[in-house]
Amino acid sequence: MTSVVETIAALRAQVQAWRAEGLKVALVPTMGALHDGHVSLMRAALERADRCIVSIFVNPRQFAPTEDLDKYPRQLALDLEKLDHAGVHLAFTPGVDEVYPQGFATAISVGGPSAGLETDFRPAFFDGVATVVGKLFIQAAPDLAVFGEKDYQQLCVVKKLCRDLDLPVEVLGSPTIRDAEGLAMSSRNAYLSAAELDMARQLNKVLRKAATALEDGADEASTMASARQAILAAGFDVVDYVEARESVTLAPWRKDRDGRVLVAARLGKTRLIDNVEVAAR
């Protein structure tokens, strides 16, 4: 049975008890509305640690005023059932006042891989992510933490956070979980109508075609332009970005480095992101 704690003090007490037994602890940070992609992160954590903590906290600091904070799906009872079924040992479900108490006035800003892409459209997003993840790492003191590769820029930012601040947490990326037609699992997929789901399933196909073209030596600028047009032709309303970047630093892509093609595109009221690997030539 998954135990549930809502306070930092209770979280620390449990982790300290595990430490006293010499147990290795993993953390999977989430915002809830859990799906098979999240469950895969929990399984990866349980393969590498003796105990697994999953945090469920919809972080207001990574939402802009125009974004969907109030509408973001919340289903704590269902989420806890999934944690129990997955074998998770502890759920940390703090309220906003527990994480950001009255007078909270600190933020963490990570440069490097946060530049461009998401930041061009959501300027405060990664400051909010870095701040809450930094707090979770301090609160839970895990040996390792698992993040999904679907949010690839976020994964790179968290790794940079740990490197630069010497946080003793091993950050692992877990492969994106997709449906049978290649659509990346996301809590926001629940917003899509049946027709929009059919359109959304074209996104990964366009990315894979672009990645293959780059691996075969195609010109980067024309390949990205073609990918943008293909995404719009599939029915998307707006393409925020579709770009090739180096896989570690997210600096501009070079053909002799492993890379990623990353995309953010809007379908109706829903914004989807995805990415695929590009092998070095």
Domain boundaries, the chain: 3-174, 187-275
Taking the C-alpha atoms of residue 279 and residue 281, their distance in angstroms, rounded to an integer, is 6
Taking the C-alpha atoms of residue 173 and residue 28, their distance in angstroms, rounded to an integer, is 11
Catalytic residue among 15, 28, 38, 57: 38
- Whether residue 68 is predicted with pLDDT greater than 80 in this model: the reply is no
Q: How many Cβ atoms are within 10 Å of 243's Cβ, its own excluded? A: 20
- Is 38 in the active site? yes
Taking the C-alpha atoms of residue 122 and residue 63, their distance in angstroms, rounded to an integer, is 8
pLDDT tens per residue across span 120-131: 999 999 999 999
Q: Give the pLDDT score at 273.
A: 98
* Mean pLDDT (whole number) for 254-262: 96
Tell me whether residue 40 is annotated as binding.
Answer: no
Enclosing H/E stretch for 172: strand 170-174
Tell me the pLDDT band of 61, cut-offs 50, 70 and 90.
very high
Is 3-174 assigned to CATH 3.40.50.620?
yes
Strand partners, 274: 263
* Mean pLDDT (whole number) for 197-226: 97
* Mean pLDDT (whole number) for 256-260: 95
* Mean pLDDT (whole number) for 53-70: 91
Q: Give the pLDDT score at 5.
A: 98
Tell me whether residue 38 is annotated as binding.
Answer: yes
Q: How many Cβ atoms are within 10 Å of 1's Cβ, its own excluded? A: 7
Cβ–Cβ under 8 Å, residues 182 and 150: no
What distances in angstroms separate CA 145 from CA 60, 73, 197, one per listed residue? 21, 23, 31
pLDDT tens per residue across span 146-165: 999 999 999 999 999 999 99
Tell me whether residue 151 is annotated as binding.
Answer: yes
- State the angle between helix axes of 8-20 and 125-140 in degrees (0 to 180), rounded to the nearest 10: 50
Tell me whether residue 193 is annotated as binding.
Answer: no
- Mapped onto helix, strand or coil, the DSSP state of residue 267 is strand
- Please name the residues in contact with 218: beta carbons below 8 A apart, sequence gap of 6 or more: none
3-174 with 187-275: one CATH topology? no
Q: Give the pLDDT score at 65.
A: 83
Average pLDDT score, the chain: 96
- Whether residue 176 is predicted with pLDDT greater than 80 in this model: the reply is yes
Q: Given 3.40.50.620, 3.30.1300.10, 3.40.190.10, 3.50.50.60, which CATH number is that of 187-275? A: 3.30.1300.10
